[in-house]
Amino acid sequence: MKAGKYLPLLAIGLSGCAQLYDIRDTIEGYTNPLVASAMFLGVQEPDSEFIDLLDTEFESGAVVQAFLADASNVDDMAEAPIAGGDVSVRIGGAQPLRLDEIEAGAYSITGGEGLYYEVGQSTTLSINVGPDTGVIKGGKLPEAADVVLDWEQPVEDLVVDMSGRGFDTVLAVVVDMDSGEVLWTNEPADISDLYDMTHASEPVKRVVIPGAAFNKEGILAVGVAGMMVTDQEQIDGVNIALSSYMAGQMVFNPVCTYEAAICAVITPEDMDDLP
């Protein structure tokens, strides 16, 4: 009997085993109760003298926020944070940077702690909870979108359309340059918000900033970031259906909400003397 006679059957058997392992891994990926979601936001250096991000939450130039939960469905995530986890981010070939736990299940690191946002670099998020480990690989960090806004902004909705730019969703914020206060943002506040932002049925092409965000007279900084969401294939060791990771770089534009006569003549040197 020739030894090669059963090789095709052996190949079929090995192929079948590989498929079974793939199916098993897929099932485990969907049923794994460890959920990890994260956002990497960079900030492009403003090129307007009207914008000073010092003493705002964006002054460090970069932030990674991550959330861990023990959940089997969307409704359970916000109520089941995982405290005491170990979360780190690696940028390119650099040493990993560990995120601090700022509250139960919420982890963060900023540019003031060594984090930096470098366009084109790949990132890897590592999660360790007891014996359980997970990895989420991000694609190349995208550059900021070319967003230009009108200088004068009336008290009405501002629509920022990002169609045709290849982003998956849009993050926006309005900051008062006098106080540094965030007047409005759609930035996710918890793991449920982040899930909603990264699991839309279709890419989000625009963001509508409500007119109420411009009620205060002054110089405001409007930040917009096109965000890219990691594919499920890059998620391993955590729940692939509920976990997510998005990254993008924010660009700020100044807008003036004073009356038109003031907006027409104001200079950066005038700002300290204005009401």
**Interval 72-124: pLDDT, tens:** 888 889 999 999 999 999 999 999 999 999 999 999 999 999 999 999 999 99
Distance CA 234, CA 134 (A): 11
β-strand partners of 86: 128
| Predicted model pTM | 0.87
Q: Which residues of 51-67 are buried (b: 16+ CB within 10 A; e: fewer)?
A: bbbeebbbebbbbbbbb
Cβ–Cβ < 8 Å for 53, 80: no
pLDDT at residue 165 tops 80: yes
d(CA 119, CA 31): 34
Query: Per mean pLDDT, which range of 25-29, 163-167, 206-210 is the poorest?
Result: 25-29
249: Cβ contacts below 8 Å, ≥ 6 apart: 41, 42, 43, 44, 117, 119, 141, 142, 143, 144, 225
Looking at the predicted structure, is the pLDDT value of residue 257 above 60? yes
Residue 17: the pLDDT is 46
Which one-letter amino acid corresponds to residue 157? D
Separation in Å, CA 96 to CA 60, 90, 126, 199, 231: 18, 4, 9, 27, 22
pLDDT of 29 > 90? The answer is no
Q: Give the pLDDT of residue 13.
A: 56
Q: Output the pLDDT for position 74.
A: 87
How confident is the model at residue 196, as a pLDDT? Answer: 94
Q: Which of 246, 247, 243, 248 is nearest to 224 (CA)?
A: 248
Q: What is the DSSP letter of 105?
A: T
Distance CA 103, CA 89 (A): 18
CA 259/CA 153 separation, integer angstroms: 10
**Tokens linked to 256:** 């003036």
Residue-level pLDDT at 23: 36
pLDDT of res. 143:
95
- Percent of the chain predicted with pLDDT > 70: 88
Encoded tokens for 249: 């770089």
Kind and range of the H or E run holding 30: helix 7-31
| pLDDT mean across residues, the chain | 90
182-185 and 206-209 strand pairing:
unpaired
Q: Which two tokens stand for residue 32?
A: 């794994």
Q: What does the pLDDT look like over 33-83, one tens digit per residue?
A: 999 999 999 999 999 999 999 999 999 999 999 999 998 888 889 999 999
Q: How far apart are CA 71 and CA 78, in angstroms?
A: 9
Compute the distance between CA of residue 261 and CA of residue 151 in angstroms, rounded to an integer. Answer: 13
In this predicted structure, what is the pLDDT of residue 269? 85
Mean pLDDT of 222-228: 98
